[in-house]
Amino acid sequence: MTDPFFASLNPEPRILRADLEDTIAAIATPLGSGGLGVVRVSGPGAFSVGDKVFRSTTPLSEVPSHTLCRGILRQGDEVLDDAVAAVFRAPRSYTGEDVVEFSCHGSPLLLRRVQAACLQSGARLAEPGEFTKRAFLNGKMDLAQAEAVAALIACRSEESRRWALDQLRGSLSALLESLRKRLLNLLARLEASLDFVDDEVPDLSRNELSSAIGSLEKETESLLATAPRGRLFRDGVRAVLAGRPNVGKSSLFNSLLDADRAIVTETAGTTRDTLEESFLADGLPVTLTDTAGLREGREPIETEGIARARRALIASDVVVWVMDASDPLTEEDRRALAWGDKPAIIVFNKSDLADPGIDRMAIEHRARQSLSHPRGCVFVSARTGEGMDGLRRALADTASPAGGRETGEGPTLLIERHVALLREAADALAAARQASHSGEPDECVALDLRRALDALDRVTGRGVSDEVLDEIFSQFCIGK
């Protein structure tokens, strides 16, 4: 087969790099005090390092795989800790290499000493993401799965946890593999018709070809359509509390976060800085900013607070306009509501103080008229908690793009690199379908199909350059 379109249809396994000969070690848990902390060692010398730093009844190099050993961690003659060592023998380990994991008491100082002891005994410090990179290089997982490890570690919502775990367990890889097989099959049949022009092989009819490409394109597009949902639950949204002073923004901030973070006083204009905290609103990660009230500043420090509030408004995805339900809509409220054109919720706070006879519908109607993009409108009391669940729901609904909260079947894209590559694949498939439809030669259709195949392959890591790999894994932390 000499045709360049069909070269490298079966990529070679990635050639193992020389640096896999090193044994690496690093602290794998965050550097804070905790019940446990873990130091991980991986590579051909893992057990020799382990035997130098750990003493138990049987040397680690002699125990079977998947054994836990109780013993003593040492640096030279000094005892560092009572610890447990978990032994995994290649290839049945996270990295596919010999691995020892020391579970110690979780003191940052102690963990650094254990790491130093491992380095003294022949390991070198792992680079960021190097354990997971080795798992990829040793064929334990493909690149999409390796990236899912980072997504799982960073997840901020139940949805992104579930989607990252599914991806780690191979859901995206399996889908891409099935698209790849069908693409390869089309390419092989096109190739057959190129090689056997004399009708020895039944021709793939153009209709058949266009419709097969069309269905691959459609499936790639529907995978791409999950990206906004993935982004939403991965990054969350930025919401900002705005409104005139003293309507209860700081009280709502504390109530939404379930914490006494913002200072609440009866004197108007006391929130002069912006405060920022994250919480889950109906499962959606929200970074909430409390701002100084929006009014003309009376002293320089308040004016600065108002300037910061405006900057926070500009940077936000959703504005929560807070009004005082016990104090009818003022001219100042109306001016504030007219600001900008962001998706917004109107919150009438202090419902506990409002006259029970007030016409909520009429107040709501008047406020909505002042907003260019009104969404939810809720009455709440930061003091009694009335309506707070409704506010959380309204916040999540307002922040979600249309259909953003629907959970469909199959994997959800969580990683921007995948989104960009699948966009390339879908565009190449669209071009191939066009070429096929307009009767262009098989070689032209095949060229576009090859582009689609290359893009799909780069998601799972086939044919990805070392530079790209280094770039991807350098974004991990040390110890991952």
Residues binding ligand GDP (CB under 6 A): 245-251, 264-266, 271, 293, 349-350, 352-353, 381-383
Q: How far is the CB of 396 from ligand GDP (least distance, A)?
A: 21
| Token pair in block for residue 324 | 């005082």
Q: How far is the CB of 357 from ligand GDP (least distance, A)?
A: 17
d(CA 253, CA 288): 8
| Cβ distance to ligand GDP smaller for residue 255 or 436 | 255
Q: How far is the CB of 244 from ligand GDP (least distance, A)?
A: 7
288 DSSP β-pair partners: 239, 277
Q: How far is the CB of 350 from ligand GDP (least distance, A)?
A: 4
Q: How far is the CB of 425 from ligand GDP (least distance, A)?
A: 50
Q: How far is the CB of 386 from ligand GDP (least distance, A)?
A: 8
Residue of minimal Cβ distance to ligand GDP: 248
CB neighbours of residue 51 within 10 Å: 16
Task: Determine contact, residues 439/206, Cβ cutoff 8 Å.
Answer: yes
Q: How far is the CB of 311 from ligand GDP (least distance, A)?
A: 18
Task: Determine contact, residues 380/391, Cβ cutoff 8 Å.
Answer: yes
| Cβ distance to ligand GDP smaller for residue 198 or 266 | 266
| Token pair in block for residue 78 | 């000094």
Q: Which one, of 245, 419, 414, 237, lies nearest residue 322 by Cα?
A: 245
d(CA 87, CA 41): 10
| Cβ distance to ligand GDP smaller for residue 336 or 449 | 336
242 DSSP β-pair partners: 321
| Cβ distance to ligand GDP smaller for residue 266 or 406 | 266
Task: Determine contact, residues 48/68, Cβ cutoff 8 Å.
Answer: no
d(CA 126, CA 75): 19
Task: Classify the phi-psi angles of 159: left when phi > 0, otherwise alpha if psi is within -120 to 50, otherwise beta.
Answer: alpha
| Cβ distance to ligand GDP smaller for residue 180 or 249 | 249
Residue 74 is which amino acid? R
| Cβ distance to ligand GDP smaller for residue 95 or 349 | 349
| Cβ distance to ligand GDP smaller for residue 160 or 349 | 349
